Amino acid sequence: MISCYELGHQPFHLASLSAMLEQADYLPVCVDTALDALSDETINQARFVAISVPMHTAMRLGEQIAQRIRTLNPTAYICLYGLYALLNADHLLQQGAIDAAIGGEYEVPLCQLIAAFEQEKDEATPGVYSRGHVSGPWIQRTPFVVPERSGLPALERYARMEQGTETHVVGYTEATRGCKHTCVHCPVTPIYHGRFFAVPAEIVLADIRAQVAQGAQHITFGDPDFWNGPTHALRITRAMHQEFPELTFDATIKIEHLLKHRQLLPEMKELGCVFVVSAVESLNNTVLEQLAKNHTAADVAAAFAEMERVGITLRPSLLPFTPWETLESYIELLNFFEAGHFIEHIDPVHLSIRLLIPPGSAHLDTPESEQWIGELDPTAFGYRWSHPDPRMDELQKQVAILVEQADQMGSDAIMTFFQIKAKALAFKGEKLSAFKAMRQYGERKDLPHLTESWFCCAEPTSNQLCAKRA
């Protein structure tokens, strides 16, 4: 079993599948290629290979791995699983790069597929998309088991949580699967269609307990939205805090939920929440309407104020390059972070993210989509689109190059921010000295954050791509 990229975390999607396979008396070999090289020897010994592709970055890297396995070991059975597996199955099956793909609640279909493969059965396996059988995502409740992490690299090899001068070993778990919201651009939407499943609290707590035993000092809850079920989330964090009072955590929560359930935030702080990631995406209300985010620019400002009041850091994820964003609104977005002294709240990569439209995207069903969505580019795993203002496409390319170079060089994030702003203003014929702007910005805030600065919706870096070719 292979993981390509899980945002700097120990791969949950290997651990979860490993547990179920071991229950069925299999002994899977796990390789996290974000840390360790996949050797030719390992490839040649494999009869069945499962590659986890939960998001776009992993999909791009996973395809390269699948092609390499197919070249070295043509008879190996290759199955992709995860959110992006089904969305791109047609192209990869036609290309011969893979033999099957599974989307949704993947554990049960994958275990059944392995059993059928072992018994040399040719009949279709429910939930498995293959050359001989078309299947949609498997959206049925999984008999959840505690993830098995003993075959994975040590937690200390992964991203840390930095707070002040201290760094903390990070664990990762999920309290829910899927999402009850249907944001148009989100890859969860075409797979789960608004459904979500709560993982039993005792399973989540047992997973946390096991990771604390491995040295975890901080837990990331990686659910698409931790407050899909706020009562469930509180039940887990209360029990976690009672057992491990020094353990801190972060979670992903919608702006809409932060405001709707703001009365819960002080308790979240007391239970150890140090920051929340929230998909702000844009401050252009037209963009937010097109994405069906169910929040406005004013709501974002209110959420920042509320989180500042409570003392939990808000870390936004952004989608600033869409057909509806304008050069002016992009600059206004930058101005918001500068004026509010919020630059430290974002990783520069978020200022480069461009809308992805994979096969099956909900954008394909929106009114007038044919006016701006172009042809499918299967090699890029999505449909092409061009911005009505060519300056925005060129700006995105320049920002993407800048943030990748800055990431590889370990450049100062605030300097990178102002270099991005200088590029944006240059398209309006205006000049900005990034050095002067950085000096004028004033005293920096030292905020809690994870040391992994890349993002699952970004294109892989050249270093990531080169590593997978090895």
Per-position DSSP letters for 250-299, written without gaps between them: EEE--HHHHHHTGGGHHHHHHTTEEEEEEEEE-S-HHHHHHTT-S--HHH
Q: Is the pLDDT of residue 393 over 60?
A: yes
**Residues 15 and 147: beta-carbon distance below 8 Å:** yes
Beta-carbon contacts of residue 342 (< 8 Å; ≥ 6 apart): 304, 336
Sign of the dihedral through C-alpha 125, 131, 132, 135 = positive
Please state the pTM of the whole predicted model.
0.95
Q: Which residues 6+ apart lie within 8 Å of 14 measured at CB?
A: 1, 2, 3, 30, 32, 52, 151, 152
pLDDT at 122: 80
| Mean pLDDT in residue range 105-124 | 92
pLDDT surpasses 70 at 468: no
Q: Which residue has the tokens 């943030």?
A: 403
CB proximity list for 38: less than 8 A, separation 6 or greater:
2, 31, 65, 68
Quickly state the pLDDT bin for 210 (edges 50, 70, 90): very high
User: Residue 83: which H helix or E strand, with range?
Assistant: helix 83-87
pLDDT at 268 over 90: yes
Q: Is the pLDDT of residue 156 over 70?
A: yes
Question: Is residue 151 within 8 Å of residue 121, measured between CB atoms?
Answer: no
What confidence category does residue 469 fall into, taking pLDDT thresholds of 50, 70 and 90?
low
DSSP for 207-244, written as a single string: HHHHHHHTT--EEEE--S-GGGSHHHHHHHHHHHHHH-
Give yes or no for a contact between 346 and 315, defined as CB atoms under 8 angstroms apart: yes
SS3 at position 249: strand
Q: In the predicted model, what is the mean pLDDT of residues 436-461?
A: 86
Domains of the chain: 2-130 (3.40.50.2300), 160-451 (3.80.30.20)
38-63: pLDDT as tens digits: 999 999 999 999 999 999 889 999 99
Q: Output the pLDDT for position 463.
A: 66
The predicted pLDDT at position 132 comes to: 87
CA distances from 228 to 77, 194, 234, 264, 410 (A): 36, 11, 11, 14, 35
d(C-alpha 63, C-alpha 125), whole Å: 23
Helix (H) or strand (E) holding 13: helix 12-23
Whether the CA torsion 428, 430, 435, 440 is positive or negative: it is: negative
Question: Mean pLDDT across the stretch 18-22?
Answer: 96
Residue 456 pLDDT exceeds 90: no
Query: Over 90: is that where the pLDDT of 445 sits?
Result: yes
pLDDT value at residue 290? 96
pLDDT tier for residue 458 given thresholds of 50, 70 and 90: low
Tell me: pLDDT of 453 over 80.
no
**Confidence class of residue 249 from pLDDT cuts 50, 70 and 90?**
very high
The confidence score (pLDDT) of residue 462 equals 65
12, pLDDT greater than 60: yes
For the stretch 280-337, pLDDT in tens is: 999 999 999 999 999 999 999 999 999 999 999 999 999 999 999 999 999 999 999 9
pLDDT tens digits, residue range 121-150? 888 899 999 998 999 999 999 999 999 999
> Which phi-psi region, left, alpha or beta, contains residue 431 (left: φ > 0; alpha: ψ -120 to 50)?
beta
Residue 467 has pLDDT above 70, yes or no: no
